[in-house]
Amino acid sequence: MGLQRRDLPLWVLALGLTGCGGSALSSQPAGAAAVTSSTETTWVRVVAARRAPLAALYVTSATLRPERAATVTARTRGVVRELLVEEGDRVEADQPLVRLEDDDQQIERRRALAVRAQEETELQRAQQLRAQKALSENELDTARKEYDEACHRLEVAELALKRTTIRAPFAGRVLRRHLDAGAMVSDGTAVLDLANVEPLEADLSVPERHVARLAVGQGVRVSVDATGDLLPARISRIAPSVDAASGTVRVTISVHAPGVALRPGAFVRAAVVTETRPEALVVPRAALVAQGPRWFLFRRAGDRAERLEVEVGLEEGDLVEVARGLEEGDEVVVTGAAALSHGARVEVLD
């Protein structure tokens, strides 16, 4: 049975057409494919360029520390009788923190009181005798000196007794307890670490070129790495000198966050505003296309995409300032720009 034409493989027919009518296919214009692609529609999303306040930020990292901190130490020798606070407790200035055994100090105070009372009586008697011309002035002076010495001994005894109760030097929070009840302490033994944690502070190293725009009281944006909390902060001090090794200036900020459980030593990121533009022309960062050191974006002109070279300025978050090459209200492509070329047909997605 002979093969019918419809039974021939397609590739055989294709070879036959190529051999017989190749000149007809090669006569198609070379640019037809490009023309066809230029008529294809690309779906895009657009956003209008608008005016908005924008700030230039210098972002750096720092570690929170207490505004005021101290290691509370014993000022006398003794054994810890009672711990009145624990780690994390909030204390007020002069609040008792630790009590030591005070039996010896109580005895010394009572003895000093008795000696002073005796010397006071002797002084009164000497004054009476001197008034009667029965005692010399030198003997009266000796009685006065002995009374004064007794008063001094009583003051020392009372001070030693007072030091058996260790008190908070300032208001703050107990960060660490160094010993337990029953421990033996002497003058200088560390007992507790105390810190004023409201507010906390952080030291930032800011390049000298930015410092001229900073001022005490200026706001700073702080975020906590561990929790993501955004906290209000302000510049409290600016060092008067420059670190010659790094070319930076120490800027101290105070972080006030009464509703947030912050701890000294927490790692934070601080953004310092170094420059502001109240009415910058901004577009989303997604609208920009980089080509080497140059920046481009696509502006919608009717149903076509117009490629523009622009000059960018400040950046903050997802917004970028366009300093040149764009007008307020121009619609720029923010989705689909990667597939566009100058003059491409576009259709806007709702």
Average pLDDT value for the chain: 85
Q: Are 298 and 283 in contact (CB under 8 A)?
A: no
Fold observed for domain 58-67+197-277: Elongation Factor Tu (Ef-tu); domain 3 (2.40.30)
Q: Is the pLDDT of residue 33 over 80?
A: no
Residues sharing a CB contact under 8 Å with residue 29, sequence separation 6 or more, in sequence order: none
Domain parsing of the chain, residue ranges = 39-54+278-348, 58-67+197-277, 102-163
- Determine the CATH number of domain 39-54+278-348: 2.40.420.20
Question: Secondary structure of 21-60 in the HEC alphabet?
Answer: HHHHHHCCCCCHHHHHHHCCEEEEEEEECEEEEEEEEEEE
Q: Are 174 and 86 in contact (CB under 8 A)?
A: yes
Residue 38 is predicted with a pLDDT of 52
Residue 259 is predicted with a pLDDT of 66
Q: Is the pLDDT of residue 17 over 60?
A: no
The arithmetic mean of pLDDT across residues 158-167, rounded, is 95
Q: Is the pLDDT of residue 11 over 70?
A: no
Of the two residues 6 and 148, the one the predictor is more confident about is 148
Lookup: tokens for 80: 């810890």
pLDDT in tens, 245-275: 999 999 999 998 776 677 888 899 998 888 8
Residue 39 is predicted with a pLDDT of 65
* CA–CA gap between residue 326 and residue 220 (Å, rounded): 31
Q: By CB neighbour count within 10 A (0-12 exposed, 13-18 middle, 19+ buried), where does 212 fall?
A: exposed
Fold observed for domain 102-163: Helix Hairpins (1.10.287)
Residues sharing a CB contact under 8 Å with residue 147, sequence separation 6 or more, in sequence order: 116, 119, 120, 122, 123
Q: Is the pLDDT of residue 194 over 90?
A: yes
Q: How confident is the model at residue 182 (pLDDT cuts 50, 70, 90)?
A: very high
What is the Rg, in whole angstroms, of the alpha carbon atoms belonging to the chain?
42
* CA–CA gap between residue 206 and residue 127 (Å, rounded): 73
